[in-house]
Every structure is written in structure tokens, then in C-alpha cells.
A and B are shown apart, each in its own frame.
Chain A
Amino acid sequence: MATGNGVRRKLLLLIVLFAFWMVFTASLAWHELVLGAVSCALVAAMTVSLLGRALDPRITPAVLLRLPVFMLRLTWEIIKANYDVAKIILNPKLPIDPRIVEYRTYLPDDLPRTVFSDSITLTPGTVTVELEGNRLNVHCLCPYHEEGLAGLEKMVAWLFGIRKEGEVTADG
């Protein structure tokens, strides 16, 4: 089982690396493709212990399917947040009342938490300044910005298919 898993990880890494090779060589000439395949295979075999960690088991095909929808929703949130921040910055009175808020998230594992903290940084007037365990220290520009966090958390939970603990699920 362990060796089968290792081969699968190597193959996945090879595919990812080869996709990057294709994008950056920007050609379909056969010698480029052969060279890319050989070098990607070598790199995948040698660095699977280092780069293999990037292939988190939470990245499933379902997550990849939901990713474009998530990106679109996040882009909309980013545009709204930017409009908000631009309004604050261009206001001559500079109406800010910053504070650092502690937020506890129910998201498990590193990857969902990282996605969550990056989304926080990119959206409504909030910047994650510290992430430790399930505790986030969030710097808010205005007190009302804090209210957007729960909705964002729900969005990330939806992306990874995570249910809140203790929440009654509809399908039993």
C-alpha cells in the first residue's frame, strides 16, 4: 500500500510539473516535450519527499471542480472589499478604527486554514497577522469588517466539503 501510494504521488507530481513545463516552454515541438517529460520524471522521482507534501490528500477531484466557482465568488468578494477600502482611503477624514480581533475557526488541517487566512487577507478590510492552531489574530480596519469573517469561513468549508461539528446535517 505504501509503495502504491508513493507511485501515485510521483505520478501526480509528474503531471503537475509537466503542466508547468508546458506553460513555460510555450511550444509543442516534440523535442521540447520529450526533454520536459524526462526532466520532470527525474525531478519527480528525486523530490517527491519534499514537494510531495504539496499534494495534500484534501485536494480531491470534487475540490478541483468546486475551485473555479470558489475563485469567482472570491473575486467578487475581493472587488467589493477593494471598493470599500478605496472609499475609506480616499475619504479625507480617514474613518478608521483599527483593532486586532481573535477568531477561532472550526476548519481542520493546515490547508483549509491557510486558504481561509489568505482569503481573509484579500477580503473585507481584514488582514490575518497570526495563525496558530485554530486561533487567528485578525487586524480589522473598521469594527464592522469583522462580520464578514463567518461568511468567508462558510465559503472555505464549502470548498473543502467540511461540515461544522455539532451541526445537524439534512441528509442524516
Chain B
Amino acid sequence: MSAARDIVAGALCCIGTFFFLVGTTGLLRMPDVFTRLHPSTKCDTLGACSVIVGMAVYSGWSWELCKLVVIACFLLLSSATCGHAIGRSALRRNIPYWRRQGKETGDGNGA
């Protein structure tokens, strides 16, 4: 039983680390602020949440489980809100967003 729990926790940690790596790669590769928001809000959140859930599995039934669940839920809410706040400040300061070269700018549904 304990061994199975360790394996599940380890697998979740590995998945989380993988998504952290993807998030870091995205943060370094993407061309502008708005596109950088994508890896930071998605990959990092899932990475953090899956490591935390893995630790929750590892700790078993205890008070730590409650705390970890609260932290994970808070992280889901807060990282989305942080991404929204950063994106809005970039939009309000009129930072131009990156577009693929060779495309007309008047694309109809752009802002």
C-alpha cells in the first residue's frame, strides 16, 4: 500500500517537473509579454498543482492533506488572477503584441 502511494506521488512529481521545464522553455522562447503569459499561467500552474497533489498523496490522511489542498486551490485562483493583472497592465500601457510576419495587420477581429 505504502509503496503504491510512493509510486503515484513520484509519478505526479515527475509530471509536475516536466511541466515546470516546459514553462521555463516557453518563458525563454516566446516573443512577447502576452505569449509569455501562456506558459506561465498554464504550465506553471499545472506543474505546481501536480507536485502539490503528489505530496498530498505522499502524506496520506492527515492535516497536511487539508493544507496542501487549500494551497493548491489558492494557487489555481491566484495564478490566473496574476496573469490577468499582468496582461491588463501590458494592454493598458499599449505594449504592442507580437504577430506572425507577413500577415496583414487589419485582421478584422483584432483589438
**Residue B66, interface by CB 8 Å:** yes
In Å, the complex CA distance between A133 and B42 comes to 25
Of the candidate stretches A45-53, A89-97, A148-156, the one touching chain B is A89-97
**Residue B77, interface by CB 8 Å:** yes
Q: Mark A126-162, 1 if CB is under 8 A from B, else 0.
A: 0111110000010101000000000000000000000
Assess whether A100 is in contact with B67, with CB atoms less than 8 Å apart.
Answer: no
In Å, the complex CA distance between A117 and B82 comes to 12
In Å, the complex CA distance between A85 and B81 comes to 19
Assess whether A122 is in contact with B38, with CB atoms less than 8 Å apart.
Answer: no
Interface size on B, residues (CB 8 A): 40
A121 / chain B contacts, CB cutoff of 8 Å: 41, 80, 83-84
Of the candidate stretches A1-9, A35-43, A76-84, the one touching chain B is A76-84
Assess whether A97 is in contact with B39, with CB atoms less than 8 Å apart.
Answer: no
A104 / chain B contacts, CB cutoff of 8 Å: none
Which residues 41-92 of B have a CB within 8 angstroms of A? 41-43, 45-46, 63-64, 66-67, 70, 76-77, 80-81, 83-84, 87-88, 90-91
A122 / chain B contacts, CB cutoff of 8 Å: 41-42, 45, 76, 80
Assess whether A94 is in contact with B97, with CB atoms less than 8 Å apart.
Answer: no
In Å, the complex CA distance between A137 and B88 comes to 9
Assess whether B67 is in contact with A139, with CB atoms less than 8 Å apart.
Answer: no
Contacts from B to A (Cβ < 8 Å): 19, 22, 25-26, 29-30, 34-35, 37-39, 41-43, 45-46, 63-64, 66-67, 70, 76-77, 80-81, 83-84, 87-88, 90-91, 97-100, 103, 107, 109-111
Contacts from A to B (Cβ < 8 Å): 20, 23-24, 26-27, 78-79, 81-82, 85-86, 89-90, 94, 96-102, 117-118, 121-123, 125, 127-131, 137, 139, 141
Other than the given A89-B25, A99-B107, 8 more pairs (CB < 8 A) read: A85-B38, A89-B39, A98-B97, A100-B34, A100-B91, A118-B80, A127-B87, A141-B35
